[in-house]
Amino acid sequence: MNLRQLNLLHDDDPAAIRALAGECGLDPVLAIGVAKLLLANDGNLASLSPQQRQCFEQVLRPLIENRG
């Protein structure tokens, strides 16, 4: 995972996270929280619950990959 891209996304474009989460039917607050959690844990996906992992896969991963 590209933590630099995640950090830029979280800091510079949280609206993109909230928008895609809403489109996916996921809680935008959860999506922002998952980004914060991953940044705090050096991108450790093992620390995520199944719901958080789903949010990462559907929202954060696509956004990170599109930025990179």
pLDDT at 67: 80
Query: What are 24-43's pLDDT values in tens digits?
Result: 999 999 999 999 999 999 99
pLDDT at 1: 84
**How many angstroms separate the first and last alpha carbons of the chain?**
10
Handedness of CA 35, 38, 43, 45 (dihedral sign): negative
Query: What are 9-24's pLDDT values in tens digits?
Result: 999 999 999 999 999 9
pLDDT at 38: 97
One-letter amino acid identity for 58? Answer: Q
One-letter amino acid identity for 28? Answer: P
Residue 68, pLDDT > 70, answer no
Q: pTM for the whole thing? A: 0.92
